[in-house]
Structure 1
Amino acid sequence: MTAETIDMSAWTGRIDPESNSERWHQCIRPLDQAGSKGVALLGFASDAGVKRNQGRPGATQGPQAIRRALAPLAWHRQAPAFDAGDVVCRGDALEEAQQRLGERLAELLDAGHFPVALGGGHEIAFGSWQGLARHLEAQGSKHDRPPQIGIVNLDAHFDLRDPSHAHSSGTPFAQIADACEQRHWPFRYACLGVSRASNTRALFQRAKDLGVLVREDREFTAATLEAILRDVKRFIAHCEHLYLTIDLDVLPATEAPGVSAPAARGVSLALIEPLIEIIRDSGKLRLADIAELNPEHDIDGRTAKVAARLVHQLTLTG
């Protein structure tokens, strides 16, 4: 496997004297010590796409902030977890970094790990999808039809902007749609938590043209959650493989202030977690990532703590 620098300095914290009281920092190991399959955390230190999208830079520090927030959380896993280091975007070399991220994720998938990529801007999504596509293409001889990949994006934005002008954190799912068309693969995309105020009519039309499952932020209430969960379950039923991507700006600014574009409304963590659980427990989730943590604008580490909790929830059953 291609080596990236693995900095374990973030994995520190308290140690309790009671037995069976381990925390993440006591249990996670660098990937080069992997002797079995497990969760593999891979950072994507990039905000080149955010800058191109005229957002607030600072997301390049996101992966380490998530690790620091995850380190003291209680360990409830049976299977191991590994730190696979960071893929670093140098300057504006976004496309090269995305390709390298895809290669690393494909290697992790080929080795039988469950990768969770830590961003970084939402440009991470095109690299993540490339990794899953590369992995499934390598298994192509086992199938007589294209892989049925479902993308679930928890996000205030479609990120379906026209990529012909420039690739950015606002274009990854349009890039994926184009890549699926070139491969003659179906494009199955669900975008949950969309803000109508933050997406133009053109983007809503593009989502409609592409057959995207859309649920707006204002649709999420305790009363409507069961209906939304049923819609997501129907979406999952038509997929063989799932890729979950969580843009932290789907949350209200009070819960996630440290993002490129804080949400005026958003969808609360209490309503997000049930969605994550049914995706996690579907048996189809192959890859996940968390995007847009910007520590430079975080308040009391709130957003990093939310991101860490999401990683904890995603990996709880291992």
Structure 2
Amino acid sequence: MHTPADMTLWQGRVDAEEGPLARRWHDRLQALRHDAPAGIALLGFACDAGVQRNQGRTGAAEGPRTIRKALANLAWHHEGHIYDAGDVTCEGDALEAAQSELGRQVAHLLGEGHLPLVLGGGHEIAYGSFLGLAHHAERQADKPTIGIINLDAHFDLRGGRQGSSGTPFRQIAEACAANGAPFNYLVFGISEPANTEALFHRARELNVTWRGDEDCIREHLEELLDTLTFFADEVDWLYLTVCLDVLPAATAPGVSAPAARGVELMVVEALIDAAKATGKLMLADIAELNPVFDKDGITAKVAARLVWRLAR
């Protein structure tokens, strides 16, 4: 189900004495209208049914609301238009219906010329986001190839009859195969202790490219950026998805599976900047914020900072 934007969330400090340059996100953001000029559209995915199915810590359904509240008071240094496109909500365990609706909403936003930034929610968000981008691609005269860049401690290639937060990229691979499309998937931040050998085997079978968390360090940043750029050169469109559990637990405690090591925020931000710099970014999302387990709102602030960066 899709619900309209709750504009009461967009409140914050007003520095009237500082003049018109002292703007914050709550000053600039508007509810999305059907006739709105092209801009950046925030779309929530209020769901953690996938996390529950994956035997994780639930609470991510409150992620979109919490990210918006953390964003509201951030300083505005951006150009263009920014909108709130409301939320896709998941009723009970109706994950597949929620993912289908998310796909419809993403495709609609893309069709209207917006850049969707989807706020999660568990990483089951990825399958719904991809459905929308793939549907938009089908509408093009020359069907573009899509590349997926995932910043994540996990491959999320699990098997099983039911989809979950652990299966989205396996489901995407199956959808690509069914449509005769290539599955182009690059992951930064893979934790070897957090992924079984079965998952590494599946990643090799699917020709996934990955870099482990031990390699995703600032000393190797040039090589990481080269990997991303080479990957982007081989596709037409990019979909960037950021699972907050790629970050160290001290930076992102409010996730389903906090990372013992993780990838430092500076490296994550550099990879986000590089994806944007390709000029091919069509869609991005932030997954796995779980406010129930957050400490002092740290993870929400990090998530908001990443959205802020994506929107620049």
Write out aligned runs for 1:101-116 (5 A).
101-116=102-117
Structure 1 gaps of 5+ residues are: none
Q: Is contact 1:154-1:193 (8 Å) kept?
A: yes
Kindly indicate whether residue 90 of structure 2 is the aligned counterpart of residue 89 of structure 1: yes
- Of 168, 180, 184, the match for 2:180: 184
Q: Distance in 1 between matches of 2:244 and 2:189?
A: 11
SS at 2:187's partner residue? strand
* 1:13 correspondence with 2:12: yes
- Distance in 2 separating the partners of 1:90 and 1:34: 29
- Report the counterpart of residue 301 of structure 1 in structure 2: 297
Tell me the amino acid that sits aligned with residue 312 of structure 1.
Answer: W
Matched, 1:254 2:250: yes
Report the Cα distance in structure 2 between the residues aligned to 1:29 and 1:242, rounded to whole angstroms.
26
Instruction: Give the deviation of 1:66 after TM superposition.
Output: 0.3
Residues 123-179 of structure 1: CA distance to partner in whole angstroms, max 9, x if unpaired?
00000000001111122xx11xx521000000000000014x211000000000000
Q: Secondary structure at the match of 2:33?
A: helix
Root-mean-square deviation over aligned CA pairs: 1.1
- % identity of equivalent residues: 55
Offset at residue 3 of structure 1 (A): 6.1
* Within-5 A mapping of 1:59-208: 59-139=60-140, 142-143=141-142, 146-163=143-160, 165-208=161-204
TM, length-normalised to structure 1: 0.96
Q: CA deviation at 1:106?
A: 0.3
Q: What SS does the aligned partner of 1:190 have?
A: strand
Structure 1 residues 18, 273: closer, same or farther in 2, change over 3 A? same
Q: Distance in 2 between matches of 1:32 and 1:263?
A: 39
Amino acid at match of 2:165: S
- Please show how residues 257-296 of structure 1 align to structure 2 within 5 Å: 257-296=253-292
Q: 1:43 touches 1:119 (CA, 8 Å); kept in 2?
A: yes
- Measured in 2, the distance between the counterparts of 1:111 and 1:171 equals 30
Once the 2 structures are TM-superposed, how far is the Cα of residue 211 of structure 1 from its aligned partner?
Answer: 1.0
Q: Is the 8 A contact 1:34 1:82 kept in 2?
A: no
Structure 2 CA distance, aligned partners of 1:128 and 1:92? 18
Give the secondary structure class of the aligned counterpart of 1:32.
coil
Residues 3 and 228 (structure 1), Cα distance of their counterparts in 2 relative to 1, 3 Å cut? closer
Alpha-carbon distance in structure 1 between the residues aligned to 2:89 and 2:177: 29
Contact 1:252 1:266 in 2 (8 A): yes
Query: Are 1:52 and 2:72 counterparts?
Result: no
Q: What SS class does the counterpart of residue 204 from structure 2 fall into?
A: helix
Q: 1: CA distance between counterparts of 2:193 and 2:61?
A: 27
Q: What is residue 235 of structure 1 aligned with on the other side? A: 231
* One-letter amino acid of the counterpart of residue 252, structure 1: P
Corresponding residue SS for 1:22: coil
* Post-superposition offset of 1:72: 0.6
Query: 2:188–2:216: 8 Å Cα contact kept in structure 1?
Result: no
Contact 1:193 1:267 in 2 (8 A): yes
Unaligned runs of 5+ in 2: none
TM-score (norm 2): 0.97
Q: What is the CA–CA distance in structure 2 between the aligned matches of 1:33 and 1:309, rounded to whole Å?
A: 28
CA distance in 1, matches of 2:98, 2:58: 17
Tell me the distance in 2 between the aligned counterparts of 1:15 and 1:6. Answer: 22
**CA distances 1:226-261 after superposition (whole Å, capped 9, x unpaired):** 111111110010010000000000000000000000
